[in-house]
């Protein structure tokens, strides 16, 4: 592997205890998202309490990984040197079919082709030995 690709220079998450199962699920390539057992709602980002009903009875549920783009933007400005080669790139809010909404990148098509309402499916990107990111591509 070329030296410049051996080091992953983009920001990595700090893994807080309440989000550990989420990041572990991505590493295992089986995304899990919290579902409130009291109101049945799936939600994101992770929390120890449901943001709707404040119940603490939560389960980490596997999700299928299908969803729709809720909103889509294209980053042109380079905020950090690590992104210099990557612009322009898409960032989307994706609604999982189960209900939770994630911040993510839609990859596999030019950013200009990503539209609100577009169907997408999950792809895992192992960016370091410890961290896997959840990205999406247009559904086939």
Determine if 3 is a binding residue for other proteins (CB under 8 A): no
Judging by beta carbons within 10 Å of its beta carbon (0-12, 13-18, 19+), is residue 36 exposed, middle or buried? buried
Q: Indicate whether 60 belongs to the interface with other proteins (CB under 8 A).
A: no
Q: Can you tell me which of 33, 36, 63, 72 binds other proteins, judged by CB under 8 A?
A: 72
How many whole angstroms separate alpha carbon 50 and alpha carbon 5? 39
3-state secondary structure of 20: helix
Compute how many residues bind other proteins; rule: CB under 8 A.
42
Q: Which stretch binds other proteins (CB under 8 A): 7-15, 27-35, 57-65?
A: 7-15
Q: How far is the CB of 23 from other proteins (least distance, A)?
A: 9
Q: Which is nearer to other proteins, 62 or 115 (CB)?
A: 115
Residue of 31, 34, 36, 43 that binds other proteins (CB under 8 A): 43
The Cα 96–Cα 84 span in angstroms is 30
Considering the complex, what minimum distance in angstroms separates the CB of residue 6 from other proteins?
Answer: 18
Which candidate, 40, 42, 50, places its Cα nearest to that of 67? Answer: 42
Residue length of the chain: 140
Give the CA-trace dihedral at 2, 88, 122, 137, to 10 degrees. -100
Residue number, 37 or 47, with CB nearest to other proteins = 47
Contacts (CB under 8 A) with other proteins, residues 80-139: 80, 83, 86, 88-89, 91, 93, 100-105, 111, 115-117, 127, 131, 133, 135
Q: How far apart are CA 77 and CA 116, in angstroms?
A: 22
The position carrying tokens 């294209």 is: 74
Task: Locate 110 and state its tokens.
Answer: 């030019």
Residues that bind other proteins (CB under 8 A): 10-16, 19, 43-45, 51, 70-77, 79-80, 83, 86, 88-89, 91, 93, 100-105, 111, 115-117, 127, 131, 133, 135
């Amino acid at each position: 592997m070329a030296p410049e690709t051996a080091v992953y220079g983009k920001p990595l998450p700090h893994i807080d205890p309440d989000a550990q199962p989420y990041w572990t699920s991505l590493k295992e390539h089986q995304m899990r998202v919290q579902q409130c057992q009291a109101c049945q709602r799936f939600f994101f980002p992770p929390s120890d309490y449901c943001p709707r009903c404040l119940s603490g009875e939560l389960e980490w549920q596997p999700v299928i990984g299908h969803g729709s783009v809720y909103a889509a933007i294209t980053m042109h400005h380079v905020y950090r040197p690590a992104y210099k080669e990557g612009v322009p790139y898409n960032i989307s809010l994706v609604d999982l079919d189960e209900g939770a909404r994630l911040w993510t990148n839609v990859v596999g098509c030019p950013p200009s082709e990503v539209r609100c309402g577009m169907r997408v499916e999950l792809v895992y990107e192992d960016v370091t030995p410890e961290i896997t990111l959840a990205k999406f591509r247009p559904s086939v």
